Homo-oligomer: A and B are copies of this chain.
Amino acid sequence: MVELIRSTSELKVRRATLNTQKVGLVPTMGNLHRGHASLVQASVNRNEVTIVTIFVNPKQFGPNEDFHRYPRTLEDDLELLDRVSNGRPCLVYAPETTQDIYPDGFDTTISLGELSRPLCGKFRPGHFDGVATVVYRLFSITRPHSAYFGAKDFQQLAIIRRMVLDLDIPVEIISMPIIRDHDGLALSSRNQYLDKDDRQLALKLPSTLTLSAQLFKECHHNTTDRKLTNFIKESLADSQVEWQYLDILDASTLRPPSAATQEWVIAGAMKVGKTRLIDNITVQKK
């Protein structure tokens, strides 16, 4: 039972009618795939009402990034949501204008410090400010009890969790596993930018992460192990693709691992042609 809402004022009126019903939020930029579907399914199973937001947030794109060509496919998205929500109440909030999210005169930015510096933060200045600010806005407009995010955007998740803690926001943050295609590539709206040859190259991202994780476990989580560091060095030197990073960090602080580390994230970003892809694997201490 999908209900499309196109303005913030309308959404607020509708939200008020939900009273005490448990509300789950799935914030998206649209162009939904099975990754998003898994988030919606989780929310539908655990909440009385699910709100899916579809908003391509200009604040999280850099000046040379793909804001304008980012795929907008509202009709298809609604069809997918209709299937996935399976008769359960699902409000789709797809604001018609940017002003719905950022009214005229809007002047506030929420930024994270330490957590937004490593990994993607190095290559996408301002990106996580845009993410934190829009997620705050979506939370304050939709007032959910819980919100669902995919683990593919690992740094985004860490940032949102920290923001929620720091700003005392009463929303439970739930992370769902990465969904992969048959060939191992993590699902992403950006995968459709890839032609057949690009896709073949892109597979180096998940395969390198998988092999790194295997070596990392074999050497008992020693980030200075020669076999591991050589493998990473050789991978990064591969000239067929353009790696931005391939890092092993403490999964909760996103800093270099220490003796206190309980979980590691092995995270990578690469460009294949003009398409930028990210992926990660986490490894737990036994």
Contacts and interface: CB of A to CB of B under 8 A. Distances in A.
A231 to B, nearest CB: 32
Interface in A211-265: 253
Contacts of A189: none
A78 interface: no
B108 A110 contact: yes
A166 B115 contact: no
Given A110-B110, A111-B111, A105 B162 contact: yes
Most buried by B among A162, A167, A253: A167
A166 B104 CA distance: 10
Contact of A136 (B107, B167, B253): B167
Interface in A95-131: 105-115
Interface in A163-210: 163, 166-168
Nearest to A169: B140
Contact of A112 (B108, B168, B253): B108
Contact of A166 (B108, B114, B166): B108
Nearest to A116: B107
Interface string A47-83: 0000000000000000000000000000000000000
B113 A109 contact: yes
Contacts of A110: 108-110
Contacts of A106: 166
A108 B107 contact: no
A253 B253 CA distance: 39
Contacts of A113: 107-109
A115 to B, nearest CB: 5
Nearest to A102: B166
Given A107-B113, A109-B113, 15 more contacts: A105-B162, A105-B253, A107-B114, A107-B115, A107-B162, A107-B166, A108-B110, A108-B111, A108-B167, A109-B110, A109-B111, A109-B112, A111-B111, A136-B167, A140-B167
